[in-house]
Amino acid sequence: MEVTYRTTKLQKLASNSRALNAELGAVCAKKFEQRISEFIAAECLEDLRHLPGPRVHELRGDRKGQFSADLKHPLRLIFLPTNNPEPRKEDGGWSWAGITLIEIQEIADTHE
């Protein structure tokens, strides 16, 4: 998949391990790098759907349309599919096999 970043700060963190460690701590920084590597290695989001580690899932409520992948509890990597047109199934849900472009939005605790 192709990965982009919503902010310059996120893009810089993704390319600078030292800054990433300072911002997130060693364990969370390692998970962030691992998740980004998993996204890049996958052909589509469906490839990651059933892996136990990243626990990629769609969010609900006020975060509907966003996806989440686990980092270090309680932090999650929040991202959006950016394919144009959006890959949707007939029922309106996401076609995970069609999601090949994502944009990293933030690192957040979605349960706050």
Closest CA to 35 of 61, 7, 5, 65: 5
Query: What pLDDT sits at residue 50?
Result: 85
Considering the segment(s) 2-108 as one domain, its CATH architecture is 2-Layer Sandwich (3.30)
Per-residue pLDDT tens for 80-107?
999 999 999 999 999 999 999 999 999 9
Beta 2-5 vs 57-58: how paired, if at all? unpaired
Query: What pLDDT sits at residue 111?
Result: 77
Q: How far is CA 37 from CA 34, 43, 48, in A?
A: 5, 12, 11
Distance between CA atoms of 33 and 22, rounded to whole angstroms? Answer: 14
**Average pLDDT for residues 57-79, to the nearest whole number?**
94
Per-residue pLDDT tens for 23-66?
999 999 999 999 999 999 999 999 998 888 899 999 999 999 99
